[in-house]
């Protein structure tokens, strides 16, 4: 909230732009990204930092020649960087990088595993709309099996009391057992269903995801016409519901939903800038 407020004025923007001159971060992305990469890079630039990196490391870095992420990070450590932002195509990539790095590693998504900074901006979006992160009914739907954003948000919500999470999907794409095991350990209430209309009743948050085709090894698809939020779906939701999506959207939320006051996914994406600026601010001040 502080970063957002400061950026709202010309004087604030000028002050932030002079905050960390001479500091530099690298963005190393092994998977395609628009919002995450650009928001991290914009966040660094707005704080007066320099940015170097690659947006397609699998094709345009030495990874294409077989170099491991460990060796890539060891080399980057020689360049006197202040932090490295990594998106990796397999679970555990950021952890592997951190094990050999002398500078902070920021996990910008590791395959179908985790997406910690997305969960922070998601939590911020929910708090900004509802004023709390506890006592919420949160409906999560779509491809839950491969969604790292759902996994990370569930972890955050499990830290707060009296939340109830409803997972809406078909069996082949339902939430993985390790996620529900964590919810059980933290006494977080949850249920699994295929019934969207039942799930949407009394929902405070509806968090929808696309089919993660990049992780599918066959032609299996979500059913046509199912698990899609459209104008008719809006009639099933309370007026106070907020609709979220980590983006990119394909066809799981129709464009005629965008104008509804409950649609928060573009605002949600914008919040990524403020969250990532705040994260860089903490790192540069040694408060990790």
Task: Check residue 269 and give its pLDDT.
Answer: 97
36 assigned to active site: yes
Share of the chain above pLDDT 70, in %: 91
User: Which candidate in 115, 137, 145, 264 is catalytic?
Assistant: 115
Of 36, 188, 209, 241, catalytic: 36
Overall CATH class of domain 2-111+270-284: alpha beta
In this prediction, residues 119-132 reach a mean pLDDT of 98
Token digits of residue 27: 């963005």
Ordered by start, the domain boundaries in the chain are 2-111+270-284, 116-257
| pLDDT tens string 74-97 | 999 999 999 999 999 999 999 999
Domain 116-257: which CATH number of 3.40.50.2000, 3.40.50.300, 3.40.50.1370, 3.40.50.10140: 3.40.50.1370
Based on the residue annotation, tell me whether 35 is a catalytic residue of this protein.
yes
Instruction: State the Cα torsion 266-271-272-274 to the nearest 10°.
Output: 150
Comparing 2-111+270-284 with 116-257, is the CATH topology the same? yes
DSSP H stretches of helix in the chain: 2-7, 10-17, 35-46, 57-60, 69-76, 93-100, 116-130, 148-157, 177-185, 196-200, 231-234, 265-284
CA-closest candidate to residue 246, choices 223, 267, 227, 276? 267
pLDDT, tens digit (0-9, with 9 covering 90-100), for 43-61:
999 999 999 998 765 555 5
Say yes or no to pLDDT of 225 above 60.
no
Is 188 catalytic? The answer is no
Q: Which pLDDT score, from 0 to 100, does residue 63 have?
A: 61
Catalytic residue among 18, 65, 185, 239: 65
Question: What pLDDT shows up at residue 54?
Answer: 84
Identified catalytic residue from 19, 23, 35, 95: 35
Note if the pTM is more than 0.95: no
DSSP state of 187: T
Q: Which of 27, 46, 72, 87 is catalytic?
A: 87
């Amino acid at each position: 909230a502080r970063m957002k407020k400061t950026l709202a004025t010309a004087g604030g923007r000028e002050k932030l732009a002079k905050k960390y001159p001479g500091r530099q971060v690298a963005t190393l992305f092994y998977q395609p990204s628009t919002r995450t990469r650009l928001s991290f890079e914009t966040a660094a630039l707005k704080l007066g930092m320099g940015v170097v990196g690659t947006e397609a490391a699998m094709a345009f870095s030495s990874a294409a020649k077989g170099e491991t992420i460990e060796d890539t990070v060891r080399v980057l450590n020689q360049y006197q960087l202040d932090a490295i932002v990594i998106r990796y195509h397999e679970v555990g990539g950021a952890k592997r990088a951190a094990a050999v790095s002398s500078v902070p590693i920021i996990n910008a998504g590791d395959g179908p595993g985790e997406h910690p900074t997305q969960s922070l901006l998601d939590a911020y979006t929910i708090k900004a709309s509802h004023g709390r992160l506890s006592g919420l009914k949160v409906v999560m739907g779509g491809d839950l099996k491969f969604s790292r954003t759902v996994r990370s948000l569930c972890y955050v919500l499990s830290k707060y009391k009296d939340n109830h999470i409803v997972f809406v999907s078909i069996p082949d794409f339902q939430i993985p057992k390790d996620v529900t095991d964590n919810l059980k350990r933290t006494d977080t209430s949850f249920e699994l269903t295929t019934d969207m209309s039942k799930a949407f009743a009394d929902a405070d948050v509806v968090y929808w995801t696309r089919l993660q085709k990049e992780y599918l090894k066959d032609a299996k698809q979500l059913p046509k016409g199912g698990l899609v939020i459209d104008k008719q779906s809006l009639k099933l939701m309370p007026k106070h519901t907020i609709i979220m999506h980590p983006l990119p959207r394909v066809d799981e939320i129709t464009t005629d939903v965008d104008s509804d006051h409950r649609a928060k996914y573009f605002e949600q994406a914008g919040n990524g800038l403020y969250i990532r600026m705040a994260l860089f601010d903490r790192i540069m001040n040694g408060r990790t």
